[in-house]
């Protein structure tokens, strides 16, 4: 472990209170001493084996990415600078109801196929685990037994649980199947998961009715976790979808964390105040609610996710069979382009807003960076013909950016008192969303320094102590004596996201130091060989 005093830091401690100048000593993976400038006058300043002059830099708790898709990236890439370079020291994975535990051999293969667009197929990963506890143990050991780049907390994915208990069928579970799902969720929480996620516009999780979700949320509540839904609509039925999640978690007595809580598509332009009023009313009535957002307007998902739910019944091979059948494909098209598929949030798709960000098959690379409309125009064909061909030829592995957000909604929601930061970052693809590499410095540079939407102290609290409180982590999220030394040092005058839509993997600027468990994972702006990240298990 490093034994270092960070000399003359401007401490923004994560509480939301005013900053102060101090010497901060880190030893044994913990913050062992904080001596403020005023208290140090006339007395000996703290010392350590190493001294680092950080005058002019802000010292803050490491940032918590409340919505991450690094489930395989943590095991694939020991550098993981996509997140470390942003100052992220903890990611919450297992998002949107689909991940890699708990599984059996059949389900593992199915889920690998289903979320190839998020994480790749994983042919470079040795899937030695089947349980949640086994996956968390694998993160602990990481690379050669040394761990992984950053810490990670896990949500039991409800869609995967449903897949394991009853396959891909669009129906209510039998009592025995519901009991099996309850058992799987309980086992995952006992093994260390911090809650449960859902993807209610993704199959098979979207087939669950409210009674089924409420039953599972009761289990989550019994074990001290929280429910994190990607709910049923961010478009035409957005407010009703938020109301649904608030009502069912109230009935279950379960804390609620709303994933990527946006108000998108033309039908929701300027409607963020309606969402915030709904949240305020629920909070005033005693509800336990938090949310996360990313500071960008486009969304990001897979191309197959836009399809209507009935097209996904039976899993990936059944989807492909439907797309290859002309009559069924015509029905899919009608629902997408005329009716508004539930997978597209009840809004008829506008192909000029759907940009391909990545493909699984390198032979299809020419699609990346272009909208479906642009590729169709270049081919002289209708957009659906292009989209259908790409879905089939890429075996459902294509990822997209969907340009359907509104800046005024983004700014309004990030100001709310229960807001936290989440990148929702998909790291694969030729042109991934820049949020994957830039969310946290973009908050600090764009929305704090340039626009003044949040003060620096407020913003750091949104990114640190609030998420730590939701995760029930008693010794993270604040710069306090005795707390874990997951820390970031940044220059408030220069910190900024380097990533853009044209160059999405450009690293940020102004973040020279990041410590994970008291060890320098980023030093002088460069990645070290430190692998101090571990699985962060739910507090008993």
Average pLDDT of each block of 10 consecutive residues along the chain (540 residues)?
A: 87 98 96 83 78 96 98 98 98 98 97 94 96 98 94 98 97 98 98 98 96 98 98 95 98 98 95 98 98 96 94 93 97 96 95 95 95 97 97 95 96 98 95 96 98 98 98 97 98 98 96 98 98 92
**Distance of alpha carbon 421 from alpha carbon 341, whole angstroms:** 29
**Distance of alpha carbon 163 from alpha carbon 203, whole angstroms:** 9
Q: Which helix (H) or strand (E) holds 389?
A: helix 383-393
Helix axes 105-114, 316-324, angle to 10 degrees: 50
**Distance of alpha carbon 285 from alpha carbon 250, whole angstroms:** 10
Q: Which tokens go with 540?
A: 């008993």
**Distance of alpha carbon 104 from alpha carbon 102, whole angstroms:** 7
Q: Which tokens go with 354?
A: 């759907």
**Distance of alpha carbon 256 from alpha carbon 297, whole angstroms:** 24
User: What does the pLDDT read at residue 37?
Assistant: 83
The set of residues, in sequence order, having a beta carbon less than 8 Å from that of 45 and lying 6+ positions away, is 7, 23, 35
User: What does the pLDDT read at residue 47?
Assistant: 81
> For the purposes of burial, counting CB atoms within 10 Å of the CB of 288, is it exposed (0-12), middle (13-18) or buried (19 or more)?
middle
**Distance of alpha carbon 456 from alpha carbon 116, whole angstroms:** 37
Residues 345/234, Cβ–Cβ less than 8 Å: yes
Coil, helix or strand at residue 269:
coil
Q: Which tokens go with 246?
A: 């608030």
User: What does the pLDDT read at residue 42?
Assistant: 62
The structure's pTM equals 0.96
User: What does the pLDDT read at residue 540?
Assistant: 72
User: What does the pLDDT read at residue 44?
Assistant: 76
**What is the DSSP code string of 402-466?**
E----HHHHHHHHTSTTEEE---B---SSS--THHHHHHHHIIIIIIIIT-SS-HHHHHHHHTHH
User: What does the pLDDT read at residue 38?
Assistant: 61
């Amino acid at each position: 472990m490093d034994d270092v005093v960070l000399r003359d830091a401007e401490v923004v401690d994560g509480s939301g209170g005013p900053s102060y100048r101090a010497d901060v000593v880190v030893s044994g993976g913990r913050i062992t001493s904080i001596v403020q400038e005023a208290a140090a006058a006339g007395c000996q300043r703290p010392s350590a084996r190493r001294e680092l002059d950080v005058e002019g830099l802000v010292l803050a708790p490491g940032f918590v990415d409340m919505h991450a898709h690094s489930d395989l990236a943590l095991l694939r890439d020991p550098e993981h600078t996509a997140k470390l370079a942003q100052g992220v020291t903890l990611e919450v994975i297992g998002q949107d109801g689909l991940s890699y535990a708990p599984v059996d051999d059949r389900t593992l293969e199915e889920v690998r196929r289903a979320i190839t667009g998020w994480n790749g197929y994983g042919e470079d990963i040795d899937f030695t685990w089947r349980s949640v506890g086994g996956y968390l143990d694998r993160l602990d050991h990481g690379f050669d037994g040394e761990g992984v780049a950053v810490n990670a907390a896990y949500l039991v994915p409800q869609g995967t649980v449903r897949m394991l208990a009853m396959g891909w069928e669009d129906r209510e579970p039998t009592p025995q199947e519901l009991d099996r799902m309850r058992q799987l969720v309980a086992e995952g929480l006992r093994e260390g998961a911090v809650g449960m996620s859902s993807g209610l516009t993704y199959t098979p999780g979207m087939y669950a009715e409210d009674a089924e979700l409420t039953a599972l949320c009761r289990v989550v509540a019994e074990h001290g976790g929280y429910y994190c839904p990607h709910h049923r609509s961010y478009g035409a039925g957005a407010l009703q979808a938020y109301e649904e999640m608030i009502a069912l978690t109230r009935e279950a007595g379960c804390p609620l964390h709303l994933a990527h809580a946006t108000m998108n598509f033309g039908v929701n332009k300027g409607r963020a105040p309606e969402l915030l009023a709904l949240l305020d009313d629920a909070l005033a009535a005693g509800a336990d609610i938090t949310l996360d957002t990313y500071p960008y307007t486009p969304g990001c998902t897979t191309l197959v996710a836009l399809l209507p739910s009935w097209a996904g019944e039976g899993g990936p091979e059944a989807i492909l069979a439907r797309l290859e059948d002309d009559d069924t494909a015509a029905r899919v098209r009608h629902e997408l382009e005329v009716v508004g598929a539930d997978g597209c949030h009840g809004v008829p798709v506008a192909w000029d807003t759907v940009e391909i960000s990545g493909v699984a098959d390198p032979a299809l690379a020419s699609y990346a960076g272009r909208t479906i409309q642009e590729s169709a125009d270049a081919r002289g064909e209708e957009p659906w013909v292009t989209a259908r061909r790409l879905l089939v030829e890429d075996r459902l592995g294509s990822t997209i950016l969907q340009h359907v957000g509104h800046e005024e909604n983004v700014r309004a929601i990030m100001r709310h008192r229960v807001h936290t930061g989440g990148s929702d970052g998909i790291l694969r693809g030729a042109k991934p969303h820049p949020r994957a590499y830039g969310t946290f410095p973009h908050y600090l540079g764009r929305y704090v320094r340039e626009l003044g939407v949040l003060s620096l102290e407020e913003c750091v609290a949104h990114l640190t102590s609030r998420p730590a409180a939701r995760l029930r982590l008693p010794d993270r999220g604040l710069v306090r004596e005795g707390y874990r030394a997951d820390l970031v040092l940044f220059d408030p005058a220069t910190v900024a996201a380097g990533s853009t839509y044209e160059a999405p993997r450009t690293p940020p600027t102004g973040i020279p130091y990041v410590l994970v468990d008291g060890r320098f994972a980023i030093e002088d702006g460069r990645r070290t060989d430190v692998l101090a990240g571990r699985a962060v298990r739910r507090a008993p």
